[in-house]
Amino acid sequence: MRKKWEYQECNQEEVEKIVNKFNISKLLATILVNRGITDEKEIEIFLNPTRNDFHDPYLMPDMKIAVDRIIKAINANEKVIIYGDYDVDGITSITVLKKFLKDCGLETGYYIPNRLSEGYGLNKEAIDKIKEQDYTLIITVDCGISAIDEIEYANSLGIETIVTDHHEPMETLPNALAIIDLKRKDSEYPFKSLAGCGVVFKLSQAIGIKLNMPEKEYLKYLDIVCLGTISDIVPLVDENRVIAKLGIKLIEVTKSPGLKALLNASGYKQVNSNAISFGIAPRINACGRMGHEKEALELFLTENIVEANAITEKLNQYNKERQEIEKNIFEEAIAMIEKEDENCKTIVLGSDKWHHGVIGIVSSKITDMYFKPSILICFEGEEGKGSGRSIPGFDLHDALVHLSDELEKYGGHEMAVGLGIKKSNFNRFKENFEEYAKSKNISEIVPIIEIDKLIDLKDIACENVKELDLLEPFGESNRRPVFAYKNLKIDSIRALSDGKHLKLTLKDENTIISAIGFNMGYLSKEYLIGDKIDIVGNLEINSFNGKDYVQINMKDIMKSY
């Protein structure tokens, strides 16, 4: 599909001012201006954040109430349980709070619902189990904001609840003792987009301040907080940026046996956002997806490297199983799509053979591949559980609101949703979803590549490209910079990995530039040596035989005009 290249307009006066003030390259200064980071203090915090750049945790709603109640529990050695989610954010949230409270002298329990049998969030059966074990206080992490009935049920059993969450609240808040959620309408906190583990970190910080603890006591878990923050795809700006930037430095020297073992297993030589997003996070998430969520938590709680290595081996195995299941579902889904009308604007598929812990990943891949909103549903008898992903410009959650009469339940946001549906409603939902998408003129939406800068030969010096590492960690709202390079002559072209990838060498005057296009191997037959082309991609440093050289990781390619 043809992509639209959009160049960001950049104030060159601002760029020159930043170049001179901070003694950085024009390439880096351009990215900062494009990101809207032009104030001197803001630039300093973005490039070199310190522990002094955290906001006051007591600006959060109900923080004082929560801190006072937890300190009371510490002093009385109460039975307290931490209730969290089964994804990376939930696992890291439980880890940080459990370890920090242990440092404060309180040994806590934990509860993680099984994704396959219990689903997300608080449930009454779990609360019954908690009551049977005589817990008097539940602290939720990365969940709880929508658990109105469940928290009322806990109240009826004499169990108090403190909610820490980062999801959108409903009109009515649960009747909990304290609700720390930055998305509350009455929140005065200056940043609204912390991950669940970020909220837990602020709770730890607030307790530490109240107890006059040294800063290092609540900062020492920033490696784990960083892992959860980057994995949860929250915007890596403001306080998330401080957490991620400082946290990566701690990951490099982490004392956590579990995190060390995971890093070694991932195979990544450098600790950065890629290592976390593609090396570590999938292994942790695989536990929850395959129904073994407790083992991921045990990995982070262990102090024994031998045990950590043994658990990591299990995580590797779960991840391989997840990859195999994902591959099979993906291949089946593609075969189903090829039998359908290619003019359809949406993709809705269902099967009774699929694993509902994995279909969200497959949906994401299908949407990326076809640039169409997709929903995959797995059926168990008459009940279906679905997961969907969207394209920029089409609000998938609004679509489900419009079609809610055909669904048992649904939730999510503009780009990703989960749903429940009766098998008997599947075909009607599929037809009506397609009609709804057409009514929103989905055909007019084309993929857009936002380009930071049109570059030339002087921009791609190794030292300039290496300097872009100051922008790490990359993620949501701080994407890897994208550059366009025009009028390059193809010097060599070939497909790699059985035709899957594309490898080029390109000439600008007498300089040879290397480029690679992953999953672009099919283009090897469309271009010839000597063709003049324009490309868009990221700039990377590759090392070969002890020498560094710049490589362009291509996102798109077209003939020069």
Q: What is the CA radius of gyration of the chain?
A: 25
Distance between CA 197 and CA 226 in Å, rounded? 8
User: Which residue(s) pair with 507 in the sheet?
Assistant: 489, 512
Distance between CA 529 and CA 506 in Å, rounded? 9
Strands 178-181 and 160-165 come out as: parallel
Please report the pLDDT score of residue 125 as a whole number. Answer: 93
- Residue 339's Cα: distance from chain center in Å? 33
Please report the pLDDT score of residue 337 as a whole number. Answer: 95
pTM: 0.86
161, two tokens = 């609840």
In tens digits, the chain (561 residues) has pLDDT values of 678 999 998 899 999 999 999 999 999 999 999 999 999 999 999 999 999 999 999 999 999 999 999 999 999 999 999 999 888 999 999 999 999 999 999 999 999 987 777 777 889 999 999 999 999 999 999 999 989 999 999 999 999 999 999 988 888 999 999 999 999 999 999 999 999 999 999 999 999 999 999 999 999 999 999 999 998 888 899 999 999 999 999 999 999 999 999 999 988 888 888 899 889 998 998 887 787 878 899 999 999 999 999 999 999 998 898 899 999 999 999 999 999 988 999 999 999 999 888 898 899 999 998 999 999 999 999 999 999 999 999 999 999 999 999 999 887 778 888 899 999 999 999 999 999 999 999 989 999 999 999 999 989 999 999 999 999 999 888 999 999 999 999 999 999 988 899 999 999 988 999 999 998 999 999 999 999 999 999 999 988 788 888 999 999 999 998
User: Are 285 and 87 contacting, i.e. CB atoms less than 8 angstroms apart?
Assistant: yes
User: Are 245 and 225 contacting, i.e. CB atoms less than 8 angstroms apart?
Assistant: no
Please report the pLDDT score of residue 117 as a whole number. Answer: 73
Please report the pLDDT score of residue 407 as a whole number. Answer: 93
Please report the pLDDT score of residue 59 as a whole number. Answer: 97
Residue range 341-381, pLDDT digits in tens: 889 999 999 999 998 888 988 999 999 989 999 999 999 99
CA torsion through residues 71, 206, 244, 164, sign: positive
Please report the pLDDT score of residue 302 as a whole number. Answer: 95
User: Are 97 and 203 contacting, i.e. CB atoms less than 8 angstroms apart?
Assistant: yes
Backbone phi, psi, residue 339, to 5°:
-85, -10
User: Which residue(s) pair with 302 in the sheet?
Assistant: none
User: Are 150 and 124 contacting, i.e. CB atoms less than 8 angstroms apart?
Assistant: yes
Please report the pLDDT score of residue 355 as a whole number. Answer: 86
Distance between CA 373 and CA 347 in Å, rounded? 6
